Amino acid sequence: NAGVTQTPKFRILKIGQSMTLQCAQDMNHNYMYWYRQDPGMGLKLIYYSVGAGITDKGEVPNGYNVSRSTTEDFPLRLELAAPSQTSVYFCASGYRLSSSYEQYFGPGTRLTVT
Amino acid sequence: QKEVEQDPGPLSVPEGAIVSLNCTYSNSAFQYFMWYRQYSRKGPELLMYTYSSGNKEDGRFTAQVDKSSKYISLFIRDSQPSDSATYLCAMSAENQFYFGTGTSLTVIP
């Protein structure tokens, strides 16, 4: 299994440009998540999905959009990029049972907006 | 008030030491408690999770949750240089996850 894969690894955007960060998982997990990680700030949840066709906002959703048309894929769309969106973006997938709730992270995408 | 508070360190210990990492939280609805390890420029890796209160042990690692005090801990016994990383605590209620800012640990040979 490849686990959680993310593309691209790095990207530089100009202010106002748009892009899509790709995320795919091959573990048949229902749950998928997008986080951003800023230095000294920990991980912040942007959006999550509990299954194909179902998405919901996390703690910091403004400026982002997601879709989940298949179990495997969960792309994150940035519209009108701003310098405040410079960050490392992590996608994760996972499952939830009655007494466990596990997440597995991808390697991340480093995004710079200038 | 932040949902999760974690001392950022940095923490530096000699090889073989016992390491204690801690987080406090404010949301009494949290039911799932997790510890992640993150090496530089890598994604977080799940180390341990605990449901509700109690202790859980896995090899050299022990996780403790005290819901009455809203306090969780991770203990690392016989620490190794390969344990040098940033350790993140995380908590969940419903489908929302909240992470601490991470504690940077260096184990000196």
User: Which residues of A fall within a CB distance of 8 Å from B43?
Assistant: 4, 90, 92, 105-108
* CA distance to partner chain B, nearest, from residue A15 (Å): 25
Residue A101 contacts by C-beta under 8 Å, 6 or more apart in sequence?
A94, A95, B32, B34, B49, B51, B92
In a mutational test of the B interface, the residue from A101, A102, A110 whose CB has the highest number of chain B CBs within 10 Å is A101
Band of residue B1 on the pLDDT scale cut at 50, 70, 90: low
Average pLDDT, rounded, for chain A: 94
A105 token code pair: 């992270």
> A71: phi > 0 → left, psi -120 to 50 → alpha, else beta; which?
alpha
- Residue range A6-14: average pLDDT? 97
- How many whole angstroms separate alpha carbon A16 and alpha carbon B81? 44
Q: What is the pLDDT of residue B7?
A: 83
Taking a C-beta distance cutoff of 8 angstroms, is the pair B29, B10 a contact?
no
The chain A residue lying nearest B7, using CA atoms, is A40
Touching B: A residues 12-31, CB under 8 Å:
31
> Chain A to chain B, count of Cβ pairs less than 8 Å apart?
59
Q: What is the pLDDT of residue A92?
A: 97
Q: Does A60 touch chain B (CB under 8 A)?
A: no
Q: What is the pLDDT of residue A101?
A: 80
For the beta carbon of residue A81, count every other beta carbon within 10 angstroms: 21
Residue type, B22: N
Q: Do A41 and B97 touch (CB under 8 A)?
A: no
Structure confidence by residue, pLDDT tens digits, A34-88: 999 998 788 999 999 999 999 999 999 999 999 999 999 999 999 899 999 999 9
Confidence check: pLDDT of A98 > 80: no
